[in-house]
Amino acid sequence: MSSKKEKIVLTQIKQDFTTPVDAISDYINLIIDGSDVYDDEISDEFQNIKKSAKTLRVNFNDAFSEYADTKRKTISNDEEASILRHDLRTPLNGIIGYSEILLEDFEDDIEESHAEDINHIIGLAKEVEGAIARFVDFLKDGTDKTSESLAENESAENLFSSLGKIDYKLEIIDEIKQSRILVVDDIKTNCDVLKRRLENNTFLVEVSMSGKDALEKIAKEKFDLVLLDVLMPEVNGLEVLIKIREEYSADKLQL
């Protein structure tokens, strides 16, 4: 691909990222401006979304500068692509996670107009997700699969539209209620969102923000399940997995 065409593609990807992120920021600022009617717990969730949106923008701008503008960095393998994708998706997952918690846990407390805004934020976050995927794939492969992706997405949307709205729920059986779960992730947002979701479903949750701390907790306490992130500094998830399996079989501790 010529440098001119490459620049055009990257500019389009950046716009496809920036437009929904700007809209997310606008929505959350509008909500916060009218959030004096809410208690501190709900207001904190709104602030968490705002912080995640700011982090997302900073992370993307830094990545775009390093990989696209100056080309100080390049992606040469799947591992490097996974790391960049992880860095960009982490704050995005925070936006989605905190938004869904607000809708699920505080449905009766949030004004209808604000609930609609939060749903818009979730939809916009899905658009950002697509832009991130395109950005990383283009840096890795030098190809833009926009038209193919749009066609596939349109087909999928048509399929689900034809099925109508599906009502589903996850049922937690009595046998696993009150199970002890260890969440291991070096990203506080991920731990926070996952911990509260699990606790809302009757599980007892502990958090470790490093592989080393997780191994220490597992040695001292009994857990029924460990939810383990892979990309972590110092002791990564795979190393934790290997060490755990040296001591515990799958029957003794699920991962």
This model's pTM is above 0.85: no
pLDDT in tens, 75-94: 888 999 999 999 999 999 99
pLDDT in tens, 55-72: 999 999 999 999 998 888
- Look up residue 8 and give its two tokens: 């055009």
pLDDT in tens, 99-152: 999 999 998 999 998 999 999 999 999 999 999 999 999 999 876 655 444 444
- The more confidently predicted of residues 13 and 194 is 13
Confidence label for 157 from pLDDT (cuts 50, 70 and 90) = very low
What value does the mean pLDDT take over residues 36-54?
92
Domains of the chain by start residue, with CATH: 3-163 (1.20.1410), 174-247 (3.40.50.2300)
- Determine whether 17 is exposed, middle or buried from the number of CB atoms within 10 Å of its CB (0-12, 13-18, 19+): buried
The pLDDT score that the predictor gives to residue 85 is 94
